[in-house]
Amino acid sequence: MSNQVKNIAILGSTGSIGTQTLDVIRWNSNLFRAFLLTAHSNADLLISQAIEFVPEYAIICNQSKYQEVKEALAHLPIKVLAGHQAIIDTVTHPEIAVVLTAMVGFAGLEPTIAAIKAGKDIALANKETLVVAGDIITALAKQNEVQILPVDSEHSAIFQSLVGEEYKSIEKLIITASGGPFRGRGLDFLANVTREDALKHPNWVMGAKITIDSASLMNKGLEVIEAKWLFDVEADQIEVVVHPQSIIHSLVQFRDGSIKAQLGLPDMKLPIQYALTYPNRIETNFKRFSFSDYPNLTFEKPDMETFRNLSLAYTALKQGGNMPCIINAANEIAVAGFLDRKIGFLTMSSIIEECMQKINFVANPTLVDYLNTDKETRIFAQNYIQQLPSKALQF
């Protein structure tokens, strides 16, 4: 690795991935500098991060918090900006080497596009970017000779398993899933679960949105779509396997029948660090995996009839066009509705399915089509929730 310190832009520095990325930078300050930090509306945490790391830029999306952030950082040489457009403009800064995109949901799309066009390598933690516009993103990355380095533990596992291999020799990708907090449960049980039940993930510490997605298996569905674009495979080459221990993070089966896997304790800091140091590996003090602690690693098929979101994601991927964009937008509104206690757990799948049937399908979408589809789907899903009979809202 070169001795030069690598400037990192962290989009979403106050979220789960963002704070863990700053842990990695804190432990390796001789290798990395936090050059740009952004937050949606968590001004307090952004301020404390900026005071510690003294980035070149700190951006708060919520403009009403701008004054608070600016005043708190006035004594430091930090440029404080506000609004989504400021992020899109700043990620192109010539001194930034890697843009780590950890913003939640669709919001990460335009900043990622801007960064790719500016020739920045992308450490991708925002899976929705590839779900929504995988064709555009991968074409742009190729055109601008930019690397997309996956931060998701599953895609990082596949990426690591493919080092030294040719993508054309892939027969199948096997993405592992913990099964979430409701593994093995039936529809009767799921009809009555609360947001508190769904937010208790057995193995991983994550943000609220991704934790709900994990409970509904939509997270796995989005990962299947993302894998198609990252590794240039078709839907029928991607298999999901439930592996409750979360030790094997994913596997690659090659056309000669050989399988490679990446294993380790569930800790997001490892895939984050690998994305920042690739193609190198650096020493860590992370806890090590021991086979004697895990004498039984188990595997089972996902229940796609009970957890319909995974099945809907496969359908969207096979249909292509703007359909993955539709399920992503519908899911974001559905998850927000569930977290706000407006709808029950199972209603999330119904909302997504309704949007898939009702929103205008575009076979070969442009970026403008994706933006319009996203907006149209969100409005439709919100209206759908508002019109639900009160009994559908009880859970």
Rounded-to-integer distance, Cα 217 and Cα 193, Å: 15
Which among 109, 299, 157, 307 has a CA at the least distance from the CA of 221?
307
Q: Is 256 annotated as a binding residue?
A: no
**Residue 295 preceded by cis peptide, ω within 30:** no
3-state secondary structure of 5: coil
Q: Is 220 annotated as a binding residue?
A: yes
Q: Is 15 annotated as a binding residue?
A: yes
Which among 244, 223, 243 has a CA at the least distance from the CA of 233?
223
For residues 5 and 31, the answer to whether their CB atoms sit within 8 Å is yes
Residue 107: C-alpha distances to residues 19, 90, 104, 356 (Å): 18, 15, 7, 21
Q: Is 347 annotated as a binding residue?
A: no
3-state secondary structure of 374: helix
Rounded-to-integer distance, Cα 268 and Cα 127, Å: 15
Q: Is 154 annotated as a binding residue?
A: yes
Rounded-to-integer distance, Cα 193 and Cα 186, Å: 11
Q: Is 360 annotated as a binding residue?
A: no
Which among 40, 384, 353 has a CA at the least distance from the CA of 208?
40
Q: Is 135 annotated as a binding residue?
A: no
Q: Is 44 annotated as a binding residue?
A: no
Rounded-to-integer distance, Cα 380 and Cα 132, Å: 17
Q: Is 68 annotated as a binding residue?
A: no
Rounded-to-integer distance, Cα 27 and Cα 11, Å: 20
Chain-centre distance for alpha carbon 341: 23
Q: Is 126 annotated as a binding residue?
A: yes
Chain-centre distance for alpha carbon 216: 15
- How would you classify the pairing of strands 259-263 and 170-177? unpaired
Q: Is 127 annotated as a binding residue?
A: yes
For residues 174 and 296, the answer to whether their CB atoms sit within 8 Å is no
Q: Is 42 annotated as a binding residue?
A: yes
Rounded-to-integer distance, Cα 334 and Cα 180, Å: 18
Q: What are phi and psi of 104, to 5 degrees?
A: -80, 130
Tokens representing 74? 């006035």
Identity at 264, one-letter amino acid code: G
Rounded-to-integer distance, Cα 203 and Cα 192, Å: 23
Q: Is 214 annotated as a binding residue?
A: yes
Q: Is 29 annotated as a binding residue?
A: no
In the annotated binding site for 1-deoxy-D-xylulose 5-phosphate, the residues are 127, 153-154, 178, 201, 214, 219-220, 223
Residue set of the binding site for NADPH: 14-17, 42, 126, 128, 207
Binding-site positions: 14-17, 42, 126-128, 152-154, 178, 201, 207, 214, 219-220, 223
Question: Which residues line the annotated binding site for Mn(2+)?
Answer: 152, 154, 223
